[in-house]
Amino acid sequence: MARRGSGGLVRLLVTLAMLLAAVAEEATVAPAEIGVEHAPAAPAQSASEEAPALASETEAEQHNQPPPQHLLPRPLIIELPSEAAAAAREAAAGEGQDEAPADAVAATLELEVQVDLVPAAPAQDAFENAAAEQYQHLPRPLVFEPAVDDVPADVRCASWRLAAEANNLAPWKAVPAGCAAHVRDYIAGAAYRSDLDLVARESTTYARAAPLRGDGRDAWVFDIDETLLSNLPYYAEHGYGLELFDHQKFDRWVERGEALAIPSSLKLYNEVRELGFKTFLLTGRSEGHLDITAENLKKQGFHDWDKLILREACDCKKTATVYKSEKRKAMEEEGYRILGNSGDQWSDLLGWSMSARSFKLPNPMYYIP
């Protein structure tokens, strides 16, 4: 009796132990399930659809895993490297800290602010306030300082010219004195003509493939000076951009009506017209030069343009970027689609109501904002 009684007690104890183990196991699973409920919402599924996904323990474990790293929210701020932040992080690593110390965080915050201050893409509103005007005239070093002494002067000047063409120097006022000969040789030699030819060829290739609708609303915008007409005879007498631009002297040159056609541009102009584009000539010349400009153009072979737009008195204080953007916007409001735009200045091409495709002709002699 006593042996049977002790056996029953053992079975009772074993049963209790098994029950306790089951309760303990259930208690350890519960937090994970709570965690799943707070995980990012999965695509909605009905209970009947969800059940097969948990058919096996392996699948259930996979379901409870956090979402893949690439699906997690990520910081939207680009964290730029800085010496202060790097030093602070190195110090934190040396001290075995898991989190960056306060000074590292402060450095990162400072960088976030800097990133926020990077000017946004140009928009019409941006150009219409004073702050945006300032954006066009950010301070820049006016002195041409060679960075590497053992680089030949001509190579340094080629770097300067490339930076000018790429709009990395803007705004700049004159060709650096040390590069006057380089610019003269470039302009007067074969390289400038070759560059012009290449731009015209690429423009022609694009124009031939452009999606014209043929409804009389496909338009191509051309600048005039150093785009259709060349003022090289004038600039040859004024240092090829070495001298600061003198409006009065240049106006007297314009009034002679002796600017020369750029042959590759004349060819492009005629081809674009034959393809069916409307041709709009948009120039920074003042309206007082309308007649002499039209006469000069015709004398050099440019005919049958659809619009010749010059600066009116109300445009005189606007930057070229603003003035030309406003005129392009007016074209769009008339129903035209600007598919191509050719100009030797970035201000011919940038701003708003920009062309579907813009072509920058070379001009290292002067910069117009």
CA dihedral in degrees (355, 357, 362, 368; nearest 10)? 20
| 295-354 residues near Mg ion, rule: CB under 5 A | 344
- What do you get for the CA distance between the two ends of the chain, in Å? 110
Q: Smallest distance from the beta carbon of 344 to Mg ion, in angstroms?
A: 4
Build a one-symbol-per-residue string for 170-209: x at contacts with Mg ion by CB under 5 A, - elsewhere: ----------------------------------------
Q: Does 225 help bind Mg ion (rule: CB under 5 A)?
A: yes
Q: Supply the minimum distance, in Å, between the C-beta of residue 169 and Mg ion.
A: 17
Query: Minimum CB separation from Mg ion for residue 252, in Å?
Result: 18
Stretch that binds Mg ion, among 76-84, 124-132, 219-227, 268-276 (CB under 5 A): 219-227
- C-alpha 146/C-alpha 160 separation (Å) is 10
Query: 104: closest CA among 123, 85, 81?
Result: 85
Least Cβ distance, residue 366 to Mg ion (angstroms):
9
CB atoms within 10 A of CB 13: 10
Residue span binding Mg ion (CB under 5 A) among the ranges 78-86, 197-205, 218-226, 239-247: 218-226
By CB under 5 A, which span of 80-88, 176-184, 221-229, 289-297 interacts with Mg ion? 221-229
Rule CB under 5 A: is residue 218 a binding residue for Mg ion? no
Pairing verdict, β 358-360 and 278-286 = unpaired
Residue with tokens 């069916």: 276
Question: Which residue, 108 or 279, is less far from Mg ion as judged by CB?
Answer: 279
Q: Establish if 366 lies at the interface with Mg ion (CB under 5 A).
A: no
Q: Which of 88, 161, 226, 337 binds Mg ion (CB under 5 A)?
A: 226
Nearer to Mg ion, 107 or 187 (CB): 187
CB of 303 to Mg ion, least distance (A): 20
Cross-strand bridge partners of residue 221:
280, 341
- Smallest distance from Mg ion to CB 347, Å: 9
- Indicate whether 223 belongs to the interface with Mg ion (CB under 5 A): yes
For Mg ion (CB under 5 A), the number of binding residues is: 4
- In the complex, minimum distance from the CB of residue 111 to Mg ion, in angstroms, rounded to a whole number: 40
Q: Which residues bind Mg ion (CB under 5 A)?
A: 223, 225-226, 344
